[in-house]
Structure 1
Amino acid sequence: MSETIIVFGASSGIGESVAALAHRHGARTVAVGRDRTKLEGLRGRLSGVEIASVDASRREDVDAFFRDQGAFDHLVIALSGGKGAGLFRELPLEDVRSGFEGKFFPQLNVAQAALSTLRKEGGSITFISAASARSVAPGTAGLTAINAAIESVIPILALELAPIRVNGISPGVVDTPWWNDVPADVKAGFFDRARANLPVRRVGTPEEVAELVWFLAHAAFVTGSVYEIDGGHRLVASRA
């Protein structure tokens, strides 16, 4: 019997790419998100992928979802919020709160609820944060707080939940629909700077992040780690 992987945040971007890759590898793949229309589109493109519309901020809905799924092998949490960016002097702190409520708390919600049915032997949880967790760039204080909070719990959970493996992935500038909520000129500026400054001379793709997610889900001797996939941004930042 093939393994089962459940991907939260699979209706677009990195989560969708993870679900597509898992499906190609022959895993029973359950794609979970809030947007039923997008999920239906994913299922139309990937025959055999199961879908479920779940609001990860509602714990009772998440608990009910996992009860219905039964035992499974790997959990990927690619849930993301859209708020928290901006210069601190003008940053509405309600936006930061919304960012935590859209990403940090739903990710923990899903991870905790999954423990009742996630297989202990060989099971894994992979969180998706962002490179802003270590950013010192102006305008990222809120995003840094949200993503650093996610990354800070990963090694602790790896110890508490062993032998379940717990890891994280911290993407840099990746061309996903998250950027659709950013003003077009701001997005263009970020992407232009990435192409000019990153050692790889381009922005990343969701498919590249998905490859790393798949690796970590099956890397049986890796736990408690956060892997950066940022095109070398940390190398450039270290020279500043």
Structure 2
Amino acid sequence: MIEHTALVVGGTSGIGLATARLLQQRGATVHVVGRTERKLDPELIPHWADGGDPAQIAAVVAKAGPIDWLVVSLSGGEGAGPIAGLDVATLRRAFDAKFWAHLTTVRAALPHLTPTGSITLIGAISARAAMPGTAGLAAINGAVEALVKPLAAELAPIRVNGVSPGLVDTPWWSGFPAEARAAYFAQMAERLPTRRVATAEDVAEVVALAATNPNLTATVIEADGGARLAALV
């Protein structure tokens, strides 16, 4: 059996953690990177670093490498809101937390990726869903997902893919009161073709496919429960 090493940056919660656990269950040695210490599965190898800091992330990938599957699941909590009232400094921070952190991580990992390895970036369906109040998020996630095709061509035979989730029940929503969050999820579930809000594990299955399938590259997989088909406003 061929042994693989995965590095999940942004892997201490939500989709990243679910992906790390799934890849570990499938036999990979899995390193996870986060900015804050969390209690993790004992089979996961934790590293504490900021994905947007070139020196910190370079030190981590050097320890973890050689890497077969790089998954970048970094995000922040800012960038949403009507454009007329969206603070530009806030939007810059949101780009730093997601787009620039994705790019910094990919650049740092390149010398440590195996020739048959893969890079999987996590965007969001806001890049295409045209929902009012998400122009900032659309710009950030659109920028992340726009990296996929040119990098797949530039870095071949290393494969590069993206996953574009929709509404997912993850700790990203933990800042909302529990009752309000539950009510919102119930309302949105009625509008989704799947009639349910995704779990982190649902999306992790798609991320694992993108990371591990040797015939998949230059593709952004929309794992959004059909959100792009529905009116979510």
Q: Which residue of 1 aligns with 2:61?
A: 66
Q: How many residue pairs align between the two structures?
A: 232
SS at match of 1:125: strand
CA apart distance, 1:184? 5.8
Q: Does 1:130 align with 2:124?
A: yes
SS at match of 1:89: helix
Q: TM-score, normalised by structure 2?
A: 0.94
Is the alpha carbon distance of 1:142 and 1:56 closer, same or farther for their aligned partners in structure 2, counting shifts above 3 Å? Answer: same
For structure 2, list consecutive stretches of 5 or more residues without a partner in the other structure: none
Report the residue type matching 2:225 in the other structure.
G
Structure with bigger strand share is: 2
Q: Does 1:118 align with 2:113?
A: yes
Q: Which residue of 2 aligns with 1:106?
A: 101
The list of structure 1 runs, each at least 4 consecutive aligned residues, that deviate by more than 6 angstroms after superposition, is none
Report the residue type matching 2:92 in the other structure.
R
CA apart distance, 1:47? 2.5
Report the residue type matching 2:78 in the other structure.
K
Q: Which moved more, 1:90-99 or 1:155-164?
A: 90-99
Q: Does 1:51 align with 2:52?
A: no
Q: Which residue of 2 aligns with 1:30?
A: 31
Contact 2:122 2:164 in 1 (8 A): yes
Q: Distance between the aligned counterparts of 1:48 and 1:196, measured in 2?
A: 38
For structure 1, list consecutive stretches of 5 or more residues without a partner in the other structure: none
SS at match of 2:114: coil
Supply the RMSD in Å over aligned alpha carbons: 1.8
Contact 1:82 1:181 in 2 (8 A): no
Q: TM-score, normalised by structure 1?
A: 0.91
Q: Does 1:90 align with 2:91?
A: no
SS at match of 1:119: strand
Report the residue type matching 1:216 in the other structure.
A
Q: Distance between the aligned counterparts of 1:70 and 1:78, measured in 2?
A: 18
Q: Percent same amino acid among aligned pairs?
A: 44
Contact 2:129 2:227 in 1 (8 A): no
CA apart distance, 1:237? 4.7
CA apart distance, 1:186? 6.3
CA apart distance, 1:222? 1.3
Q: Distance between the aligned counterparts of 1:184 and 1:143, measured in 2?
A: 23
Q: Residue by residue, what CA displacement relative to the aligned partner does 1:191-239 show, whole Å, maximum 9, x if unpaired? A: 133211111111000001111111111221111110001111122259x
Contact 2:76 2:97 in 1 (8 A): yes
Is the alpha carbon distance of 1:157 and 1:186 closer, same or farther for their aligned partners in structure 2, counting shifts above 3 Å? Answer: farther
CA apart distance, 1:65? 1.4
Contact 1:172 1:231 in 2 (8 A): yes
CA apart distance, 1:66? 1.6
Residue among 197, 200, 221 paired with 1:206: 200
Q: Distance between the aligned counterparts of 1:145 and 1:161, measured in 2?
A: 24
Q: Distance between the aligned counterparts of 1:183 and 1:154, measured in 2?
A: 35
Is the alpha carbon distance of 1:136 and 1:182 closer, same or farther for their aligned partners in structure 2, counting shifts above 3 Å? Answer: farther
Q: Which moved more, 1:209-218 or 1:158-167?
A: 209-218
Q: Which residue of 2 aligns with 1:12?
A: 13
Report the residue type matching 1:3 in the other structure.
H
Report the residue type matching 1:15 in the other structure.
G
Contact 2:52 2:100 in 1 (8 A): yes
CA apart distance, 1:181? 3.0
Contact 1:168 1:226 in 2 (8 A): yes
Contact 2:129 2:228 in 1 (8 A): no
Q: Which residue of 2 aligns with 1:234?
A: 228
